[in-house]
Each structure stands twice: as structure tokens, then as C-alpha cells.
Amino acid sequence: MKVEGITLEKIDLLRHRAGVSYREAYEVLEETQGDVVRALIKLEEKPRTVTEKFQVRGSELVSRVRELIRQGNVNRIVVKQEEKVLLDIPVTVGAIGAVFMPYLAALGVIAALATRCTIEVERRQS
């Protein structure tokens, strides 16, 4: 849908104030029929996440994941080896200790077999 009144100035304003890409700014302006204030409110309500990546040796894997879970502001932890996903742990599991035990057992097996892994941590940005 093409909306009249979406200008580069409006897009730049959203990018500056909300820290979004040109595409996100344009799309939210389309949704709000070019209304910058409504677009800012919509962007503000949208949860933001940041992804961090860590390289670890297999022997450090379990302790590093436990440490990340203890930090408490983690949404998801993905363990990869050479871009292949070995384990994907949702944050809700971290909050429930007993349910987390199978993940720790799987991490132990991965750690024994892997020499190097990448841990991708998704955190909610405030």
C-alpha cells in the first residue's frame, strides 16, 4: 500500500528518535498512514532485543551457559558449532530449574564432543 505524506524527513526523524532502520521506519509510517507520533508510540511498544555472540571452548560451555542464565535478562540462548544449531534454550526454561536439567545434560554431551562453540544470547533491551 502506498501512503501519501511519507517523506525522507519523517523516516529520518523516526530513525534518529527510535533507532530503527530505514525499512522499519518506512513500514511503521505506512501502518500509521504517515503519522509520526503514532509511529513513535508503535515503535516504543515493540519489544527490542539485542543478540550477543561468544566463542567458548567445549570445556567452558556448561559454566558459561549457567552464568548467562543466572544473569536473568536473557530471552534465548542458542549454542552453535560452525553455524549448525546444537541447542536452542528459551528463557522460560531458565526460570524453571527442574525443567532446565535436561538442557544442562545435553550441554554436557555437546561440551564433551565439541572443541569450540558459539553461544548466541538474545537479551531484551530496555
From CA 101, how far away is CA 107, in angstroms rounded?
10
* Alpha helices, DSSP H, located in 33-84: 36-45, 61-71
Question: In the chain, what percentage of residues exceed pLDDT 70?
Answer: 87
- pLDDT tens per residue across span 4-25: 789 999 999 998 888 888 998 9
Taking 80 as the threshold, does the pLDDT of residue 100 lie above it? no
Q: Are 120 and 65 in contact (CB under 8 A)?
A: no
Band (90; pLDDT cuts 50, 70, 90): confident
Pairwise pLDDT comparison (101 vs 1), residue with the higher score: 101
The model's pTM is 0.56
- Given a cut of 90, whether residue 36 has pLDDT beyond it is yes
Q: Report, as an integer, the average pLDDT of 37-62.
A: 85
47 versus 62: which is more confidently predicted? 62
* CB-side neighbour CA atoms (13 Å) of 43: 25
